[in-house]
Structure 1
Amino acid sequence: MPKPRLNPRSLPYCFLLLFSAVISSKIVAQSVTIPVETQHNAIVFQTDKDQQLGTIYFGKKLSKAQEYTQVSAQYQQGSDFTGVLNSVYTPSGSTNLLEPAITVTHADGNNSLNLVYVNHELKNISNNVTLLNISLKDPVYNFKVTLHYKIYFKEDVIEQWSTINHTEKGNVVLHKYASANLYLKGGNFYLTQYHGDWAKEMQPEESKLSHGIKTLDSKLGTRADLFQPPVFMVSLNKLASEDEGTVLFGSLAYSGNFRTDLELDFQDNLRIISGINNYASPYTLKPNEDFVTPVFLYTLSTKGKGLASRNLHNWARNYKLLDGKGNRLTLLNNWEATYFDFNEQKLAGLLKDTKKLGVELFLLDDGWFANKYPRNGDVAGLGDWQENKTKLPNGISSLVKEAKQNQVKFGIWIEPEMVNPKSELYEKHPEWVVKQPNRAEHYFRNQLILDLTNPKVQDFVYGVVADLFTKNPELAYIKWDCNAVIYNAHSATLKNQSHFYIEYVKGLYKVLERIRTKYPKVPMMLCSGGGGRVDYAALQYFTEFWPSDNTDPLERIFMQWEYSYFYPAIASANHVTDWGKQPIKFRTDVAMMGKLGFDIVVSKLPEQDLKFCQEAIKNYNGLKTIIWKGDQYRLSDPGTSNTASMLYLNEEKTSGVIFNYLVNNRYAANSSLPIPLKGLDPEKQYKIQEINLYPGTSSSLKGTQVFSGDFLNTVGFNPDVNSGRTSVVLKIEAVK
């Protein structure tokens, strides 16, 4: 086949089908080569003599595409005893000897599978997005896998998933069904993974990958990433720094059980296989039924972690996060002001405080519902979503009206997937609850999970939201919580219990799809007692997520730093609370690095503290577009320095904001050295001015100095952070 003519200026220049011919001694005639190219990177697939499709290259894009076929000859790593070591989607039961991407039992009971290349097709979705579909088929059985690659050219991001189907004479059982199977070559591989618990989310760990399999997984069912987030990084050859090294960021976009296997094989190459966790979940696939796996997304950077994160941020805002380029509401939450103890009078005062503080929305948290078993604590009431008549005799609608009179909006907390055993819902519908019929119930925060595999339960959960909006059409915000995991997994109505974990997540997404069809733009926070549920499948339905219940600002600096690698600032809900011992300025400055909110008793703030908050909100309103939508640069790592420093810069490189914090109080720690900035135009001149000063204080910095972008990028700027100036916010602007 002749090589197609290409216009290198056209977008997307993502794919080209090379001529099927002998190009090197390693390539057999009539082989098919498929380079998958983004703006800077390429993954290249090629068939062998048996039409097995393998990965022959994954890395920086070459200037001459025809040279991809010469890559394999440069590696002398010994024999491939399997023939499928570099398979794009490794089957089990035939010649494979390593971890498979897919394992099946055919209708006749046979456990072997072989997948050979059939064809591929290319679809242009836009001038930046292309979809490649590759068909693979077993030569013996009527069993097919289609691999999907959605390529975001400018962002260097790839979404990959698979569709599995068959036309055998009977059902096929899927024992493993990955979304993606990557294959990387490198001298060494270094893994950055995360772990945590409630109030300890996103704790990083780094290790050199050794031979064997490293598995990152969750078996919690819901709130799946409480202990093990699905996000990770793999550095090639050496640990990548912020601005140097080759690094892959990856994550499964899925809100249930996930599993990622990283296997260093006997040839010293790395195989990454990621998808739904097949734990307790063999899936019976009927003839002509499609099993569609969730998306595994990844981006490769050859210029360090900072570029990889900005790739993901741009992709998320443009394509994945709900209203990713839209507006967000600053808010005042009543939770830490009242907990469960409130009434209409208290809330009326808080609504006035919302206006006084200068934020846009009041959020009523947990405790507003249930009558037979009032929600006066976390032991009762979940599932009974009627206004509590004692606390709110005039209902939610009166509060919405009160908010409007105070010229602010009104939002509300719900946890509609959950139920307390002490509730009317549990009494009426025990069959709606996830539990084993012959085993004792086991509770997480005194609650159980509603069975979202059941369509009646899906209707109920959707109805909780729909009923609130029917009665209160001006409701402006939903905080959607999820404070339990699945124990004793069992559905009273599901015929095949092995499908439970998968069908549960499908049920959740069905509910969220219905909600977003009816209410497409209403802001919703994805909350789960912390960052135990954030993933890019869920963020298609939510405008923001709650990183952690731990709002101690010192702890939050570290958490928000790690979250920022994978999620843009506009998605991170950061609240000023009374956690920690730091002054109100430090707490507010930290919370400004995302979507700002407050959870404090405004009426008890000292006069100067209130004045500071009011002025800080004004500053934030002037800078929030840059924080939410600008490029993010990590300047000084709190893990290795006395100071943390983060820059947000607009696309034109004319305006930005730098947040600086002291994170070590030992030995008179301070910002002893200048901190080099990043991303500035070296030809521009910039003025740096300190903002967010506490009333009655002045800056130690000269506000009239002008520096070139070259000077600031190369030498840097010292924010003068010390024990007397623990947080310093700097506004940077280009001058003519």
Structure 2
Amino acid sequence: MKNILTTCLFLCLLLTVHAADNPNVKKLFTVTSGELKLTFMVGMDNRLYQLGFGDAAREVEPPAKMPSREWEFLPPYGNGVLTEPAIQATHVDGNTSTELHYTGHRTEALTPGIEQTVISLKDPAYPFTVDIYIKCYTDNSMMEIWNTVTHNEKGKVILHRFASAAPVVKAKEYWLTQFSGNYKREATLNEERLSEGVKILDSKLGIRAHQMRIPSFILSLNGPAKENEGEVLAASLRWSGSFQFAFDVDWNKNLRLLTGMNPLGSQYNLERGGTFTTPAILYTYSKRGKGEASRRFHRWAMANAIRDAEKDRPVLLNNWEATHCDFDEDRLKQLFDGARQVGAELFLLDDGWFGNGSYSRDDDKHGLGDWDPSIKKLPKGLSYIAKEALKRKVGFGIWLEPEMVNPQSELYQKHPDWIITQPKREPILGRHQEILDLTRPEVQAFEWDIIDKTLRPNPDITYVKWDCNRYITQPGSSYLQPADQSHLWIDYNWALYRLMDRFAKGFPNVMAMLCAGGSGRVDYGAMSYFHSFWPSDNTDPLGRIKIQWGFSHFFPANTISAHVTRMGKRHLKMAIDVALSGAFGIDLALDKATAEERAQIADAVKLYKERIRPLVMHGELYRLVSPYESPLASLSYVSTDKQKAVVYFYQTKDGNEPRVMLGGLDAHKKYRVEEVSLAKGVASRFPANGKVFTGAELMEKGLENPLNTQFESAVLILVANN
């Protein structure tokens, strides 16, 4: 830490000398986080320019001439900026232009390894200020950037654009990887070379906003992204609502990265004395490819961004595939017995446990919003059924969707004005449901009441799956004033975070999975309040390989829920082996499985709990062979002390990848290789099974791979000899 501070002081002194020699420069300063550095210049015109963003080892010289406006760090609209603006406002007097001048900056250490710089900008003609926040996590070369807008004009200022950050990158080539898709094919990697002009990646969905694209990207400089080499920036927006990423390659081949909330339909009327805060964008930098960038995101998240990162995620059995909404207490007890027999640690009761009378939740058309337990299905109540699970030494969890309502419900009949919709328009349903308007105080109180009344009287419920199954199609609020209708997109999500925060703090011992019809809400804004997320309703192991591969670029394995199901009717072994690489669970009717299948699952649960889970929960990820480049997908987790590793092989197509080079091992240690997750009586086909190799041999020569047929899979464990 002392060395880092000394280096920063030296660089600041050096920059001060450069500034004194240059007539265009008022001030030079840097913000550095490990290998990532931002270099700033305050010009004689008082504007804040960015001279560099990237490699901290790269020296940045101040320009001989004044920089062009394309290098302004947070360019405002309307007073000479020709590129995409980051900030656009209409002042109270109708002036649509904004000018931002540097007024100062300060840096403070928050905790060991974390420091924060605040840069203050002000319009010289108006009491209108912007503060840029840059939080640095030095150990992970991570920067978290956001800004606040305030004003003291006599009336409302209208904000039209409000990017969280807008740094500029300079390289010969820019290669962008996005993570797109749709329901059941989430987080699909798509890479392209950026050309001159503006490339937009966005969501306009408001809620469940990430169904078609997650708010994360990778930018590779000077060539396509590689796993273990090359310069990359990886970024993820901490926002669950609509977002926009604009990649603006200008006429000088500079690339500006504008990231933040989607401004479409979201203009914001900021009251005098009010503060508008943007969500934060996270950036990490790697000179060793996207593999190291991913590990930096994982380390950062484990330390700063997910709940109870040190706790093991339980092996759970979900009833959805077994029963859907059709169950009673006796059926659930049968499933509890099955959970106990295979060694599952928790039973998750999914949709269908609530609603009564004509609004009984017997399908997805009824009952949503009426959260009293079903007298027909659970006559003795939630406490009774939770205790029945505990009698069998199985924990109990429950499904909630507090943000939604069916028209066929008591709640809707009483409060039709609580939904998000437009006046004079026929309501558009999604999955037979509407969205409750969280900008409305009564709805905020109601949704907290759902959570509180479900969990507080039932302390044996120790797990929640929080779902959200539709997006906004008619963005209107009967609560918001006519002039403030565009606030809905933004205020909804801040209200949602307040509700999630209250839930996490109010029930600290309740674990929680984030779900939104699959991964429609996967970001580090929401993940701060959850332990894991549901990547996709596609649990076919063949589809899940690429889905989990995509999410692994930003999210650690202990957050990625992976369940064994019979979707796709693949080999059970492959379904198990794919699930063993994440937060393992089961989602099938165990009482309808054969004795052989139940034994196979029980063996997998035992293997996971005893040998694999510590590596998945706390190990470092190494992606070894990409399913986008080979018929084989292979990845591994290596313990932080490099004593153990688990390696996965998944054959997605026919064909052979002859050898797989491992990563992250200690070159000098000797590792014994053992294939696990084998059916009883089946011998390993891996030539390395039972043999000992040095880490160097495994990383340089690799493991010989005998798999060559689609749907084959294997799991190997490596243990260093002491």
Sort the TM-score into its range (normalised by shorter chain).
over 0.9
Paired residue for 1:458?
444
Residues 73-94 of structure 1, C-alpha deviations (whole Å, 9 max, x = no match): 6xxxxx98x8321111110100
Partner of 1:475: 461
Moved more, 96-105 or 705-714: 705-714
Aligned to 1:61: 56
Equivalent residue in structure 2 for 1:434, among 413, 417, 420: 420
Residue of structure 2 aligned with 1:173, choices 155, 158, 169: 158
1:302-321 correspondence runs (5 A): 302-321=287-306
Distance of aligned partners of 1:173 and 1:406 in 2 relative to their CA distance in 1, 3 Å threshold:
same
Contact 1:22–1:30 (CA<8 Å) still a contact in 2? no
The alpha-carbon deviation at position 17 of structure 1 amounts to 3.4
Q: After superposition, where does 1:432-581 map in structure 2 within 5 Å? A: 432-495=418-481, 496-581=484-569
1:128-207 alignment runs, 5 A limit: 128-207=113-192
Give the SS at the match of 2:699. helix
Q: What CA distance in whole angstroms lies between the structure 2 residues aligned with 1:414 and 1:267?
A: 52
Q: CA deviation at 1:22?
A: 5.3
Equivalent positions of 1:520-669 (< 5 A) are 520-621=508-609, 622-665=611-654, 669=655
Seen in structure 2, the aligned counterparts of structure 1 residues 12 and 470 have a Cα distance that, compared at 3 Å, is farther
AA aligned opposite 1:625: P
Percent identity at matched positions?
40
- The residue that corresponds to 1:420 in the other structure is 406
Task: Please name the residue that 1:688 is paired with.
Answer: 673
Gaps of 5+ in 2: none
Distance of 1:410 and 1:12 partners within structure 2:
53
Q: Distance in 2 between matches of 1:717 and 1:552?
A: 27
Off by >4 Å, runs of 4+ in structure 1:
9-16, 19-22
Structure 2 CA distance for partners of 1:26 and 1:429, relative to 1, 3 Å? farther
The normalised TM-score by structure 2 is 0.97
Contact 2:246 2:257 in 1 (8 A): yes
Q: What is the alpha-carbon distance in structure 2 between the residues aligned to residue 544 and residue 727 of structure 1? A: 25
Deviations 1:130-156 (A, max 9, x none): 010000111111111000001000011
Residue segments in structure 1 that go unaligned for 5+ positions in a row: 1-5, 74-78
The answer on 1:403 being equivalent to 2:389 is: yes
Contact 1:444 1:485 in 2 (8 A): yes
Mapping for residues 379-394 of structure 1, pairs under 5 Å: 379-394=365-380
Matched-pair contact (CA < 8 Å) for 1:258–1:275: yes
Three-state SS of the structure 2 residue aligned to 1:402 is helix
How far apart in 2 are the matches of 1:92 and 1:561? 39
Residue 308 of structure 2 is matched in structure 1 by 323
Q: CA deviation at 1:100?
A: 0.3
What root-mean-square deviation, in Å, do the aligned CA atoms of Structure 1 and Structure 2 show?
1.8
Superposed CA offset, 1:50-69 (max 9, x none): 12111111222228xxx433
- State the match for 2:660 in structure 1: 675
In 2, Cα distance between equivalents of 1:342 and 1:135: 59
Judged with a 3 Å threshold, the aligned counterparts in structure 2 of structure 1 residues 478 and 211 are, in CA distance, closer, same or farther, namely same
Conserved in 1, the CA contact under 8 Å of 2:34 and 2:142?
no
What corresponds to 1:299 in structure 2? 284
Q: Are 2:437 and 2:477, in contact at CA under 8 Å, matched by a contact in 1?
A: yes
Partner residue, 2:265: 280
Q: CA deviation at 1:282?
A: 1.0
Question: Which among 30, 33, 40 is matched to residue 38 of structure 1?
Answer: 33
Alignment of 1:715-734 (within 5 A): 715-723=701-709, 726-734=712-720
- 1:307 is displaced (CA, Å) by 0.4
Q: How many residues align?
A: 717
In structure 2, the partner of 1:3 is none
CA contact (8 A) 2:25 2:43 kept: no
1:116 match: 101
Partner residue in 2 for 1:251: 236
Amino acid at match of 1:394: K
- CA-to-partner distance for each residue in 1:299-355, whole Å, 9 max, x for gaps? 111110100000000001110111122221110000000111111110010011110
Which amino acid is the alignment partner of residue 541 of structure 2? P
CA distance in 2: counterparts of 1:473 and 1:21, whole angstroms:
60
* Displacement after TM superposition at 1:365 (Å): 0.6
1:12, distance to aligned residue in structure 2 (A): 10
Distance 2:73 2:354 in 1: 52
The verdict on how the C-alpha distance between 1:560 and 1:21 changes in structure 2, with shifts beyond 3 A counting, is: closer
Structure 2 CA distance, aligned partners of 1:25 and 1:216?
42
Q: Give, in whole Å, the separation in 2 of the partners of 1:725 and 1:735.
A: 32
Corresponding residue of 1:344: 329
- Once the two structures are TM-superposed, the CA of residue 703 in structure 1 deviates from its matched residue by 3.3
**Which residue number in structure 2 is paired with residue 76 of structure 1?**
none
What CA distance in whole angstroms lies between the structure 1 residues aligned with 2:486 and 2:266? 5
- TM-score for both structures, normalised by structure 1: 0.95
* 8 A Cα contact 1:483 1:529, kept in partner: yes
Counterparts of 1:490 and 1:271, CA distance in 2:
33
Residue aligned with 2:548, SS: helix
Once the 2 structures are TM-superposed, how far is the Cα of residue 393 of structure 1 from its aligned partner?
A: 1.0
Query: Which residue is equivalent to 1:332?
Result: 317
Contact kept, 8 Å, 2:142 with 2:282, in 1: the verdict is yes
Q: CA deviation at 1:286?
A: 1.3
